[in-house]
A and B are shown apart, each in its own frame.
Chain A
C-alpha cells in the first residue's frame, strides 16, 4: 500500500477530470460529492500512510515510487517518479486535509454560483498540481506542479471573470509569479548542466562533493532558486500580486494562502537546502528577504479596511517568518510554522469568507462591527485563529511555532540579535493588527446585520481547524516547557538540525517571556485604542506625518506605483515607439519587392500568342549566340 502513493495525486485529478468533462450535466449534490470525495479519500490515504511510516520507527523513512519513464533523450532521462519523505509527508498532509476542509466549506459557500462545477474542477486540479509539486522526485516534475499551481491560481483568482478587475488581478498574479518561474527554470538548467541530472536526491548528494562552501556557481544556483521561491511565495520584491489575489472567492484565498501556492517557495527552499547551505550569502539573503517582508507586510496589514486584504498582508508576513527561519537554517521550525500557519490562516480566510457571505459581500471591516453575538460559531473560531496568529502565549499553536522561530533565529550562528529584533517587532505588529481585526469586526458599533447563520458545511471545517489551531502546537514544545519534539524528530532524517552558537543557559526562557508579554501588551494596546479611545487613532491619522504613513502602508508601501513607474511605463512607451516593428520592415520589404517585380513582369504578359512566339525565337537566338561565342 505504501508503494502506491500515486493514488494521492490521482484522486483529485480524477475528480478534476470528471468535473471538467461531465460536470455541466451533473446535479449540485453529485458535483459536491465528486469534488470532495477525491481529496477526502486522498486525505484518509495520507493519514494511513503517515501512520504506517511513523509507527515503523525508522529514523529516516522514505518511499520512492517510479511510475514510468517520462522523457528519455541523450543525456536526459526523466522519470515520472514520486518521492515521499518526512518533509513531503507534512506537506501532503496539510494539502489534502486542509484542502478537503476547504472543499467541504465551498460546497455551501459556492452554492449560489453558476460556475459550481467549474469551481470545483479548478480546485481539484489545484490540489493535484500542488501534490505533484510536493511529491516530485525530480526538479522537472516539480516544475510541472509548480506551473500547474500557477495556472490554477490564475484561473481561480479570475474565477468571476465577468468583472474586468478580477481578470486584471489574475493576470497580475500570473505575470508576477512568472518572473520568479523564469528564474527557477534557469536555475534548473544550471543544475542540469552542472550535475547532468534533475533528480533531487542525486543533486543533493552530489552538491557538497562538487562544490566547496561559497562556490560561485552554487551561489548562482541558490539565487535562481530563491528567485523562483520569492515569486511564488509573494516575498519582496515580487510580493505585489498577493493582495490583489483577493479578487477570487474566499475558499480560493484560503487554499492559496494556507495549503498551496504560496508555501511552494518555502517547500522549494527546504527541499533544496543542501544547495543553500553551500551558499551562505544567499541563505542570508533569504533571511533578510523574510525579515523585511514580514515587517513591511505587517505595517500594511495594520491600516487595511478590507478584511481579506488584512489577511493577505498577514500571509506575506507569516511567510516572511518562514523565510527568516529557512535563512538562518532553522529548517524544521519553518516547516512547523508552515503547518500551524496553514491551519489558522485557512480558518481565518474561511471565517472571513463566511462573514462576507452573510453580510451581502461586504468586505469593509468598519461596516461590520458587533457580530460576536449574532455569529457565535464564527466568532469563537475566528478568535482562536486570531489568537494563534497573534501568538498568545501557552494556549495557542501559533505561539509555539513562532516562538520556536524567534528563538532559533536568535540562537543560530547565522542569525543573531539583529534579525531577532526584526522578527520580534514583526510579532508585536502581528498581534496588533490581528487584535484590531477581531475587535473591529466583532465588537464596537453594530454594523450591517447578517442575513442568516451559515450551515453545517461551513461551521464543521471551522471547528476542526479551530481545534488544530489550538492543539497543533502541542506536538512540538520547547525545552523550557515540556520538551516535546515529535515534529522536529520526524523531520530530522530529511532536514539538518540547527547549528547553534554559545548562549547563556536561561536565554531561551527569557526570550519566551519577552515575546509572550509583548503579544499580550499588543493585544491590550489594541483593546485600548480601538475599543476605549478611538480618538487616539483618529488623531494619529489626521496628523500630517501619520497621514503620510497610513497612505503609504495602505498601498503596500507604494510598490505597485514604483513598479509602474520603473518598469511598466517605460516598457509600454518603448513598445509604443516600436509599434510598427522595425524588424518587420525586412519582411514587408521583401513583399514590396515581390509586388514591384510582379507589376513590372506583368507587362510582359500581353496575352498575345505571337508575342510569346517572339520571345521563344529570341531565346533560341540567345542560346545559339551563346553556343557560338563561348
Chain B
C-alpha cells in the first residue's frame, strides 16, 4: 500500500514537472493527464474511491478533452514551438522557482510544526458522500448548479462570433 503511494506520488510529481516545462502543448497535456491519473490512484489509496472516479471521469476525461480541443484550434505547430523555446530560456525559471521554493519551505515548516499525529485514514465511500451531498449540503449543490449554468452561458456568449450590430437609429457598426 505504502509503496504504491510513493510510486504514484513520484509519477505525479515527475509528470507535472514535465507538463509545465514542455514546449509542445499537446505533449504537456499528455503529461498533465498522466499526473491527474496518478493523483486518482492516490485518491483511491486514501480511501476515497468516489473522488478517484470523479478525478478520472471529469478531470482527466472531460476537462482535458476540452483543453485538447482548444490546443487543436489554436496550436500553430512548429512556429509556436519555436516561440515557446524563445520565451522559455533558463533565466525565466529562476525568479518563480525561487519564490515558490520559499513558499514550499514555509508550508512544510508549518506542517512539521503543527505536529499532527499522522496515522489512521478511514475509507469514506460513495454512500456517505452521496448522503452528505444531498442532505446538509443541498444548497451548495444548487449553488454549484448555478455556477455551471453561468459557465455554460458565459462560454457560449464569449465563444460566439461577433456579428455586426446595427442600431436602429445609428448607422454605425460595433467593432470588435
Residues of A within 8 A of B (CB): 614, 617-618, 620-621, 624-625, 627-628
For A610, give the chain B residue with the smallest CB separation: B96
Task: State the Cβ distance, B26 to closest chain A Cβ, in Å.
Answer: 23
Cβ contact within 8 Å between B103 and A617: yes
Kindly list the 6 A-B residue pairs having the minimum CB-CB distance in the complex, ordered from nearest: A624-B106, A617-B99, A621-B102, A621-B103, A620-B103, A628-B106
Chain B neighbourhood of A624, CB < 8 A = 103, 106-107, 110
Task: State the Cβ distance, B109 to closest chain A Cβ, in Å.
Answer: 6
Quick one: given A624-B110, A627-B110, are A614 and B103 in contact (CB under 8 Å)?
Answer: no
Task: State the Cβ distance, B5 to closest chain A Cβ, in Å.
Answer: 27
Per DSSP, chain B at the interface is helix
Task: State the Cβ distance, B44 to closest chain A Cβ, in Å.
Answer: 31
Task: State the Cβ distance, B119 to closest chain A Cβ, in Å.
Answer: 26
Cβ contact within 8 Å between A614 and B102: no
Chain A neighbourhood of B136, CB < 8 A = none
Cβ contact within 8 Å between A621 and B99: yes
Using A624-B103, A624-B110, A627-B110 as known contacts, list a sample of 15 further A-B pairs with CB atoms less than 8 Å apart, ordered by residue number in A: A614-B95, A614-B96, A614-B99, A617-B96, A617-B99, A617-B100, A618-B99, A620-B103, A621-B102, A621-B103, A621-B106, A624-B106, A624-B107, A625-B106, A628-B106
For B99, give the chain A residue with the smallest CB separation: A617
Task: State the Cβ distance, A355 to closest chain B Cβ, in Å.
Answer: 68
Task: State the Cβ distance, B113 to closest chain A Cβ, in Å.
Answer: 8
**In the bound complex, CA of A119 to CA of B107 (Å):** 87
Task: State the Cβ distance, B72 to closest chain A Cβ, in Å.
Answer: 24
Task: State the Cβ distance, A438 to closest chain B Cβ, in Å.
Answer: 79
**In the bound complex, CA of A90 to CA of B129 (Å):** 99
Task: State the Cβ distance, B50 to closest chain A Cβ, in Å.
Answer: 31
- Mask, B79-92, CB within 8 Å of A = 1, is 00000000000000
**In the bound complex, CA of A65 to CA of B14 (Å):** 100
Task: State the Cβ distance, B106 to closest chain A Cβ, in Å.
Answer: 4
Cβ contact within 8 Å between A628 and B110: yes
**In the bound complex, CA of A618 to CA of B100 (Å):** 9
**In the bound complex, CA of A625 to CA of B105 (Å):** 11
* Pairs A–B under 8 Å by Cβ, sample size 17: A614-B96, A614-B99, A617-B96, A617-B99, A617-B103, A618-B99, A620-B103, A621-B99, A621-B102, A621-B103, A621-B106, A624-B103, A624-B107, A624-B110, A625-B106, A628-B106, A628-B110
Task: State the Cβ distance, B67 to closest chain A Cβ, in Å.
Answer: 19
Chain B neighbourhood of A627, CB < 8 A = 110
Task: State the Cβ distance, B65 to closest chain A Cβ, in Å.
Answer: 26
**In the bound complex, CA of A617 to CA of B106 (Å):** 13
Chain A neighbourhood of B107, CB < 8 A = 624
Chain B neighbourhood of A617, CB < 8 A = 96, 99-100, 103
Task: State the Cβ distance, B102 to closest chain A Cβ, in Å.
Answer: 5
For A613, give the chain B residue with the smallest CB separation: B96
Task: State the Cβ distance, A630 to closest chain B Cβ, in Å.
Answer: 13
**In the bound complex, CA of A627 to CA of B96 (Å):** 22
**In the bound complex, CA of A624 to CA of B109 (Å):** 10
Chain B neighbourhood of A618, CB < 8 A = 99
- Mask, B18-33, CB within 8 Å of A = 1, is 0000000000000000
**In the bound complex, CA of A618 to CA of B67 (Å):** 29
**In the bound complex, CA of A231 to CA of B63 (Å):** 89
Task: State the Cβ distance, B10 to closest chain A Cβ, in Å.
Answer: 26
Chain B neighbourhood of A620, CB < 8 A = 103
Chain B neighbourhood of A621, CB < 8 A = 99, 102-103, 106
For B109, give the chain A residue with the smallest CB separation: A628
Chain A neighbourhood of B95, CB < 8 A = 614
Task: State the Cβ distance, A372 to closest chain B Cβ, in Å.
Answer: 79
For A623, give the chain B residue with the smallest CB separation: B106
Task: State the Cβ distance, B136 to closest chain A Cβ, in Å.
Answer: 31
* B103, B107, B109, B110: residue with the most chain A Cβ atoms closer than 10 Å: B103
**In the bound complex, CA of A625 to CA of B95 (Å):** 18
For A627, give the chain B residue with the smallest CB separation: B110
**In the bound complex, CA of A624 to CA of B104 (Å):** 11
Chain B neighbourhood of A628, CB < 8 A = 106, 109-110
**In the bound complex, CA of A625 to CA of B107 (Å):** 10
Chain B neighbourhood of A625, CB < 8 A = 106
**In the bound complex, CA of A465 to CA of B100 (Å):** 104
- Mask, B101-125, CB within 8 Å of A = 1, is 0110011011000000000000000
**In the bound complex, CA of A625 to CA of B100 (Å):** 13
Task: State the Cβ distance, B92 to closest chain A Cβ, in Å.
Answer: 10
